[in-house]
Structure 1
């Protein structure tokens, strides 16, 4: 359901490899296709305004909020928490808490972003850990929502079941799937495979009322991109490794094709003939076209953009953030959690 036309996003301009140069250009690009966007930009005022001067169309829709501090990409979350209140990242999240923005977006330090967001926004009732979630491309009709992708290195069975409920709601809202097919990532599809927590989570998912999703069992990592599932649940350690492997494989294939097509004159002719198909191939594999991950389970929307995303990639994350605002993601998840945990046999799954 659409909750509002306008979407006010608090943006950490200092995060990511490109900093304000990439972030501000991305705001302008996103605005060009969604004029209802509004922004509060946090960061070094001088650097931010230098970039904004290049895009005068941002002036009426963008408020610059000076932030005296910046969280570095290498900073430990425990140290980042001490400086959060005066940092561009922390101030953006505080704007969401104070109701001054509908969501926060940052391309900065993932661990720090999660720690600060969890501290300021707190967890939703029934959830004890946030899960980093994104949509990955597949060979099926739609992508696959995968979580957790790095927020929690260790998860017990109850965490995984909570992730499953949130992931199903996310897939429904973002991809429009009525009853998403949900699987647990494992080293095999047999019921006896995997850790004790995985087997326990599978048992819980089989026994609970699953009107919001269809639990289809375990799935192996080589099937992530096949379209066999709409939601794949795992712990953050395994999920992050899987994500980085997928991204690395995409780059490997792209470079391999480039090398093959430049190896001889005949290959170059073949490249020219195949150029339209290769362009589609590149678009499909480019992570910038799928940029934007959200910490599900918080009392607010916090979206993480990839640190090395380009201008179009950050713009993609902005559009995702706006969609989640307009679909009223947090309240939709809260409503489904209340229904799920109130059903007989599900109350013990709450945090």
Structure 2
């Protein structure tokens, strides 16, 4: 590991000044991803600015009925928070499906969003990887690609974003509050992460020195009807092969058993399929105004997967996404069917 300097931030503005003014500096929060990369030789910051003592660790209700989540809130605390569990169960479920209890006790909300891909070639400094060394090539294109993207990929990179939490937040229309030397701005979470295009080395739209201070969830009274489903190789401590986060609002919510409800609107996001959490807007559009039937769910999934592009190792993901999406939608409407 390359020697580095360490500094504990006394304020958000002080942290921003330390990092923005030094291209070799990086923020340190839980460190569950960054420290691993430093050990592997993938990341080598000359200065770590520790932001864990900053007062960004609260979960607060907002005036519009939503929730503001501080960037330093630990994943385990957020998953257990009574407001999150009752109003946004999809988020609690996504958090509890990630990593292990020990890691969730360290990992922060802001850091979770900024974790980098777990592609085996990205994490192996001896192999070509455009995300790690731009222009060096993508080893996954003709290598081990079982976990890799089927949507939004490019010839430059087919890696996927690993976060479970970010998938749920994308489905919930969350926004990220970002602070910089020039002020504060809000970015829709769906717009935070980039597709690879010609620059797979750029994970997000953030500039160097930008500090995530909070995540805001809108007031969604119907988000209580939501769920997260993660398909993986083992029951814990494994990244998603595919995952689905969904919330639905029904026209006749509370109707009689056996009455087929109509879907007023749906929020769906996919994980394990793209370079970023994938908002399933085509599926959402197909479900709007449709009856909650197996046929409608299948048509919505097929609409979203129509542009999917696979390699030999990951072709199984197309039917896996379809079946998982259908299963989650049935779960959310089963009391009426």
Query: How high is the TM-score relative to the length of structure 2?
Result: 0.26
TM-score normalised according to structure 1 size: 0.25
Higher relative contact order (CA 8 A, sep 6+): 1
